[in-house]
Amino acid sequence: MRILVVGSGGREHALIWKLKAEQPEAQIYAAPGNGGTKALAESVPLKPEEIDALADFADSREIDLTVVGPEAPLVAGITDVFQQRGLMVFGPSQGAAEIEGSKALAKALMEKAGVPTAAHRTFDSFEEAERHIREHRAPVVVKASGLAAGKGSIVCGTVDEAVDAARGMLVDKRFGESGATVVVEDCLSGEELSVLFLTDGENAIPLIPSQDHKPIGEGDTGPNTGGMGAYAPVSIADETLVGHVLDRVVMPTLAALKKEKRPFRGVLYCGLMIVESDPYVIEFNCRFGDPEIQAILPLMESSLLELAERVARGDSLAGVTLRWCRRAAVCTVLASEGYPGSYPKGKAIDIPERLDGDPDLILLHAGTRRDPEGKLVTSGGRVLNVVGLGASVTDAAEKSRQAADAIQFAGKYFRRDIGYREIERERSR
């Protein structure tokens, strides 16, 4: 079997790792991949936004299935292009992917469907946004409506902070066209949760819930990033809560998308805030979460490939159930100095040999590459994902942190508190 995975981050390395474990004889291509995926997949020198060239490659190599990792090519319509050429692809259509590509659209859709979310207003004018913020008061969350690599959501504790955030998007064009429209919403208080659903457009199957850590600083302080780590499972996300998410969030959303002729087939990521045991949607994503999937896939015993093929073929997921191992996984992200702002590249990475072969440790590359001499160096803000496995989140976190300490590169930074809420719950039991 020939599989193409589009993307170059830790999420894509995790997908390749899982697919290769399921199908060792499969020929996997990574476009473009990174310094770590080379061990499992052949690198293709094509970027995710080069959609026509990717389709040409898939056609010429008779690729059986393409799995799209990042959101940008999905929002740009890669699925539509591949399907028009008769190529099997896992990922939603351009119309369906707009649920992530436009937070304004997502909010309007939720309002129509009665999906619980924070009260909000949408603005294209800074003056109108500023007037609303000053009248509404703080705290509020100011969001760029378009794609912003996970950094376009700013929690503002004061009115001045909120006004500055809106000005940065609408006037200073901090996020370019992605910030040409902003959403200003109430700041919900509770615990965040990520629940991803595989869906054929009518049926939805939950993956094991996870929790990510977006702020750069420990204790969830500082600016948001693409994600500094994640863990699974999450004890507050029991079957009852996941059932509420399915009934109150996912099914109404899928129905609303279908009604608007945007049927969603792929992975629907629900970013939630749990407020007094009730789920409220913070955001929808149209793809696997990064770094959530790095903690989820190591616990998945069911075949991801089989499910992805079913969705790509247009088959039903009715009656499908997933199997999970009874363990925990913690993913710690090693980042470059300066991230989520500007950061250096080309720093040599030293991974101790003793970390190889540890059955309770998975190293997934994100911003890495091989230099002309074949040495591993940094090439991104988020460099490596260190996934520890254990009988509990406490054990898995310790395994992850020990390995994170052992890996070296100049300017390395990581949060040492990934999974801290769950660890506190485990201590109190």
CATH code, 146: 3.30.1490.20
Q: Name the pLDDT band for 429 (thresholds 50, 70, 90).
A: confident
Going by C-alpha positions, the residue among 226, 243, 230, 259 that lies closest to residue 340 is: 226
384, 334 contact by CB (below 8 A): yes
Residue 23 in any domain: the answer is: yes
Residue 107 in any domain: the answer is: no
Q: What is the pLDDT of residues 374-386, one digit of tens each?
A: 999 999 999 999 9
Q: Work out the number of other CB atoms within 10 angstroms of the CB of residue 100.
A: 23
Q: What gap in Å lies between CA 100 and CA 74, rounded to an integer? A: 10
Q: Which domain holds residue 143?
A: 125-180
137, 156, 180 - which closes a domain: 180
pLDDT computed for residue 250 by the predictor:
98
Please state, rounded to an integer, the average pLDDT across all residues of the chain: 96
Whether residue 173 sits in one domain with residue 199? no
Q: What gap in Å lies between CA 315 and CA 216, rounded to an integer? A: 41
Residue 120 in any domain: the answer is: no
Whether residue 336 sits in one domain with residue 305? no
Q: What gap in Å lies between CA 49 and CA 134, rounded to an integer? A: 39
Residue 273 in any domain: the answer is: yes
With a pLDDT cut of 90, the percent of the chain lying above it is 97
Q: Work out the number of other CB atoms within 10 angstroms of the CB of residue 135.
A: 8
Q: What is the pLDDT of residues 109-143, one digit of tens each?
A: 999 999 999 999 999 999 999 999 999 888 999 99
Whether residue 420 sits in one domain with residue 345? yes
Q: Work out the number of other CB atoms within 10 angstroms of the CB of residue 276.
A: 6
Q: Mean pLDDT, to the nearest integer, of 316-330?
A: 97
Whether residue 199 sits in one domain with residue 172? no
* pTM of the model as a whole: 0.95
Amino acid at 130: E
Whether residue 162 sits in one domain with residue 54? no
Is the pLDDT score of 368 beyond 80? yes
pLDDT computed for residue 14 by the predictor:
98
Instruction: Indicate which CATH number applies to the domain containing 60.
Output: 3.40.50.20
Q: What is the pLDDT of residues 186-239, one digit of tens each?
A: 999 999 999 999 999 999 999 999 999 999 999 999 998 999 999 999 999 999
Instruction: Indicate which CATH number applies to the domain containing 375.
Output: 3.90.600.10
Whether residue 224 sits in one domain with residue 198? yes
Whether residue 84 sits in one domain with residue 170? no
Whether residue 352 sits in one domain with residue 412? yes
Residue 48 in any domain: the answer is: yes
pLDDT computed for residue 167 by the predictor:
96
Going by C-alpha positions, the residue among 14, 10, 39 that lies closest to residue 300 is: 14
Q: Work out the number of other CB atoms within 10 angstroms of the CB of residue 310.
A: 18
Question: And the tokens for 351?
Answer: 């991974």
Local structure of 35: helix, strand or coil: coil
Count of structural domains within the chain: 4
Is the pLDDT score of 149 beyond 80? no
Residue 379 in any domain: the answer is: yes
Q: What gap in Å lies between CA 218 and CA 311, rounded to an integer? A: 38
Residue 11 in any domain: the answer is: yes
With a pLDDT cut of 70, the percent of the chain lying above it is 100
Residue 20 in any domain: the answer is: yes
Q: What is the pLDDT of residues 159-195, one digit of tens each?
A: 999 999 999 999 999 999 999 999 999 999 999 999 9
pLDDT computed for residue 137 by the predictor:
86
**DSSP-derived pairing of the beta strands 182-186 and 328-335:** unpaired
Is the pLDDT score of 150 beyond 90? no
Whether residue 213 sits in one domain with residue 293? yes
91, 117, 136 - which closes a domain: 91
Whether residue 280 sits in one domain with residue 171? no
> E-assigned strands of 210-265?
211-212, 215-217, 221-224, 229-232
Question: And the tokens for 6?
Answer: 């589009």
Q: Mean pLDDT, to the nearest integer, of 11-32?
A: 98
Whether residue 279 sits in one domain with residue 253? yes
Whether residue 234 sits in one domain with residue 285? yes
Instruction: Indicate which CATH number applies to the domain containing 241.
Output: 3.30.470.20
